[in-house]
């Protein structure tokens, strides 16, 4: 590149950035003129600097790295050759809090990863908890969202204001969980010490949803993916996390950035739990229910790769803020399952990106595939900035300009490219499905309570974290319902939460 000099956005040079075009008086004042293009363009751009913040997952850490393959259990190109390396972009966020919030706030952490594979992009949109449960975003904004500002104006969300004032956030939070007890498994994970990770380098991530690994012969397995830190899991106590939130709201971002600058590259092992379709049919748990895990004993972890984060973003806005992740971004060999929450996300995530970044968001450098893209149905639209497929027709299979397809190039049967339909035979009528709570929903949370009991202090920490939160609920009727909810997991847990909370209220 020739030597760089200062210009306006269209490349036109300006002699000085501190020159203003004014009608000056002789006392140091001046009237601005419309012909001060530098001033007007700079101000106009400044007031358009912010793009809509993500409604959820606004606050995040970001880094680049690579996934090294060590497996052969799918035909996915990025996982079919030992040692093959795939570039990765990682963005780890809290869920509820806004972009300006403290990143050590207690919350589930979203783990969004873009794998730039040699057959297109694959996004893994996971969490740091193996189960997940979503509150109704309209009636019950998730924890920490009572102060949510409108993304563009930074004003309070006026639609929610009456509701927020009438019912304090904590009351809503617990009234929601008492009325929707299937979230209890997630709630226990959130209030365990893992709800306040000490560093992104020290947390695990899980697909939560069931996905499929498919092969070209049409066979497939159900999988759940586990990403486990080599740095060991480390968490803040409640007190440490709260203190850090006051001292440095960007603590987790800084921790990751500085570790990578020091060349202490964090590493995770990537595992899958694998289930045969026949096992899925007989399994005790509904594998399409995101509030349930698959037991490690029955479905042991098998390593498929190693993830290393080794490069910081050079510009946070273009690399991380403009990144868009969606579970619908999948490559051959990897497919969605019939989990209804996943099905909804397949639509919602790209739709959110179209709203937030514009219809051509896939062209932004951070989102663009590293392989040629040929999708001539999708043309034009705001901010198109490639050649827009030039003079090609806006359809495929033109007899004048024939189109090649993946099976032709690979010399495989068209049916071997998954359309996510394996194992699915849909019969019957469209029905309205309503889920119901049974004692089964408390079995795995009870197991988690036992898991915590294996590590000194973990159960006490959970009880203390819950008490510190529930004590803010003014209604004793609601508090009693909350104790009953935890007692349904384990009587001792319910009693200890009740005792600790009521004592804290008296203090
Ligand atoms: P296991 O005893 O085989 O596994 C328990 C798992 O719990 C561990 O492998 C570890 O997973 C995770 N764990 C350990 N300490 C904590 C902690 N302080 N907070 C949260 N998770 C912790 O039992 P099961 O597979 O039968 O599962 C029992 C319960 O463990 C489940 O109900 C679930 O709540 C929890 N769990 C299960 C996972 C699964 O996929 N089966 C994954 C994570 C938790 P890891 O190494 O991934 O951290």
Kind of pairing, strands 205-206 and 211-214?
A: unpaired
What range does the domain containing 119 cover? 20-156+194-358
Give pLDDT, residue 355. Answer: 94
| Nearest alpha carbon, ligand 1 atom 7 | 451
Residue 381 domain-assigned? Answer: no
Residue 386 neighbours by CB under 8 Å, 6+ apart: 363
Residue with tokens 């699915």: 424
How many C-beta neighbours within 10 Å does residue 478 have? 15
- Is 127 catalytic? The answer is yes
| Nearest alpha carbon, ligand 1 atom 30 | 448
Residues with CB under 6 A from ligand 1: 130, 189, 192, 194, 204, 226, 228, 293-297, 444, 447-448, 451-452, 455, 458
CATH number of the domain that 255 lies in? Answer: 2.40.180.10
The predicted model scores a pTM of 0.90
Q: Which of 88-102, 236-250, 424-438 has the lowest mean pLDDT?
A: 424-438
Distance between CA 444 and CA 449 in Å, rounded? 9
pLDDT one-digit tens code per residue, 6-47:
888 888 888 888 888 888 888 888 888 888 988 888 888 888
Beta bridge partners, 44, equal: none
Three-state DSSP class for residue 110 = strand
Residue 372 domain-assigned? Answer: no
CA distances from 7 to 1, 13, 391, 419, 428 (A): 15, 4, 33, 49, 65
Give pLDDT, residue 148. Answer: 36
Residue 396 domain-assigned? Answer: no
Give pLDDT, residue 504. Answer: 97
Residue 411 domain-assigned? Answer: no
pLDDT at 135 over 60: no
349 belongs to an annotated ligand binding site = yes
Give pLDDT, residue 147. Answer: 34
pLDDT one-digit tens code per residue, 283-334:
999 999 999 999 999 999 999 999 999 999 999 999 999 999 999 999 989 9
What mean pLDDT is predicted for residues 160-181? Answer: 75
Residue 86 domain-assigned? Answer: yes
Distance between CA 296 and CA 68 in Å, rounded? 24
Residue 104 neighbours by CB under 8 Å, 6+ apart: 196, 236, 241, 242, 244, 245, 251, 252
Beta bridge partners, 94, equal: 109
Ligand 1 pocket, mutate which of 189, 298, 451, 489 (most atoms under 8 A from CB):
451
Q: Which of 64-78, 92-106, 189-203, 477-491 has the lowest mean pLDDT?
A: 64-78
For the chain, what is the mean pLDDT? 88
pLDDT one-digit tens code per residue, 414-427:
777 776 666 776 66
- How many domains is the chain built from? 1
User: How far, in Å, from the CA of 130 to the mean position of ligand 1?
Assistant: 8
What mean pLDDT is predicted for residues 184-203? Answer: 96
DSSP E strands in 389-454: the ranges are none
- Is 57 catalytic? The answer is yes
Residue 69 domain-assigned? Answer: yes
CA distances from 51 to 150, 343, 484 (A): 12, 27, 44
Q: Model confidence at 162, in pLDDT bands (50, 70, 90)?
A: low
CB 327 within 8 A of CB 125: yes
For residue 194, which atom of ligand 1 is closest to its CA? Answer: 19
User: How far, in Å, from the CA of 129 to the mean position of ligand 1?
Assistant: 10
Residue 174 domain-assigned? Answer: no
Structure-block tokens of residue 357: 């970044």
Residue 363 domain-assigned? Answer: no
Residue 338 CB burial class (10 angstroms; 0-12, 13-18, ≥19)? middle
Give pLDDT, residue 483. Answer: 98
């Amino acid at each position: 590149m020739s030597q760089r000099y200062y210009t306006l956005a269209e490349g036109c040079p300006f002699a000085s950035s501190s020159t203003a075009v004014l009608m000056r008086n002789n006392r140091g004042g001046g009237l601005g003129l419309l012909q001060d293009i530098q001033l007007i363009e700079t101000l106009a751009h400044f007031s358009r600097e912010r793009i809509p913040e993500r409604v959820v997952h606004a606050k995040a850490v970001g880094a680049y790295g690579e996934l090294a393959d060590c497996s052969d259990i799918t035909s996915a190109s990025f996982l079919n050759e030992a040692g093959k390396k795939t570039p990765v972009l990682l963005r780890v966020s809290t869920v509820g809090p806004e972009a300006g919030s403290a990143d050590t706030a207690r919350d589930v952490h979203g783990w969004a990863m873009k794998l730039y594979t040699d057959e297109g992009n694959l996004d893994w949109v996971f969490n740091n908890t193996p189960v997940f449960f979503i509150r109704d975003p309209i009636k019950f904004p998730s924890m920490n969202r009572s102060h949510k500002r409108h993304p563009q104006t930074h004003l309070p969300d006026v639609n929610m204001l009456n509701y927020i004032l009438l019912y304090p956030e904590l009351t809503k939070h617990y009234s929601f969980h008492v009325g929707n007890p299937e979230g209890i498994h997630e709630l226990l994970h959130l209030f365990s010490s893992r709800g306040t990770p000490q560093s992104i380098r020290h947390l695990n991530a899980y697909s939560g949803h069931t996905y499929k690994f498919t092969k070209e012969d049409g066979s497939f397995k159900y999988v759940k993916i586990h990403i486990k830190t080599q740095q060991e899991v480390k968490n803040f106590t409640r007190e440490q996390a709260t203190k850090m939130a006051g001292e440095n709201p960007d603590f987790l971002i800084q921790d990751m950035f500085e570790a990578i600058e020091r060349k202490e590259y964090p590493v995770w092992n990537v595992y899958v739990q694998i289930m045969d379709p026949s096992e899925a049919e007989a399994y005790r748990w509904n594998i399409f229910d995101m509030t349930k895990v698959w037991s490690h004993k029955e479905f042991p972890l098998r390593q498929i790769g190693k993830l290393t984060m080794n490069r910081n973003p050079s510009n946070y806005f273009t690399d991380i803020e403009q990144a868009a992740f969606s579970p619908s971004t999948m490559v051959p060999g990897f497919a969605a399952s019939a989990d209804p929450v996943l099905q909804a996300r397949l639509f919602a995530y790209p739709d959110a990106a179209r709203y937030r970044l514009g219809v051509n968001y896939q062209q932004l450098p951070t989102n663009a595939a590293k392989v040629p893209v040929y999708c001539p149905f999708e043309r034009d639209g705001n901010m198109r900035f490639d050649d827009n497929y030039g003079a090609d027709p806006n359809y495929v299979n033109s007899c004048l300009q024939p189109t090649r397809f993946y099976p032709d190039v690979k010399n495989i049967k068209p049916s071997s490219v998954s359309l996510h339909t394996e194992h699915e035979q849909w019969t019957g009528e469209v029905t309205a499905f309503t889920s119901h709570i049974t004692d089964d929903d408390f079995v795995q949370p009870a197991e988690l309570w036992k898991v915590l009991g294996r590590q000194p202090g973990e159960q006490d920490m959970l009880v203390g974290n819950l008490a510190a939160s529930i004590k803010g609920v003014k209604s004793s009727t609601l508090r009693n319902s909350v104790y009953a909810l935890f007692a349904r997991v384990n009587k001792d847990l319910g009693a200890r939460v009740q005792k600790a909370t009521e004592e804290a209220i008296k203090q």
